[in-house]
Amino acid sequence: MILLVLVVFFLVLWLELPKLIRQRWWWELAVFAVIWALALVVSVAQIYDLPLPNPTHGLEYIFKPVSHWFEEVLS
């Protein structure tokens, strides 16, 4: 299974990377590389049943103080 995932990821890389370099889309290349790497890490972690962080906890950590501040200001 891991081999199949790696083949698919590198196939996507092989298909997309030359076009981005040829057209000199450096910002798009950087964004593509970050998203591609994150997706690869999450996919491999999912295959090996590694615990993945819940993104909701991060959003709650960021927005809970803002929510409390708004409650204090508006009440």
pLDDT score, position 36: 96
Q: What is the rounded distance in angstroms from the CA atom of residue 74 to the CA atom of residue 69?
A: 9
Residue 9 near residue 40 (C-beta atoms within 8 A): yes
Q: What is the pLDDT of residues 15-47, one digit of tens each?
A: 999 999 999 999 999 999 999 999 999 999 999
- Which positions ≥6 away from 45 have C-beta within 8 Å? 52
pLDDT of 75 > 90? The answer is no
Cα 22 to Cα 26: distance, rounded to the nearest angstrom: 10
Q: Residue 64: which pLDDT band, with cuts at 50, 70 and 90?
A: very high
pLDDT of residue 53: 87
Is this prediction's pTM over 0.75? no
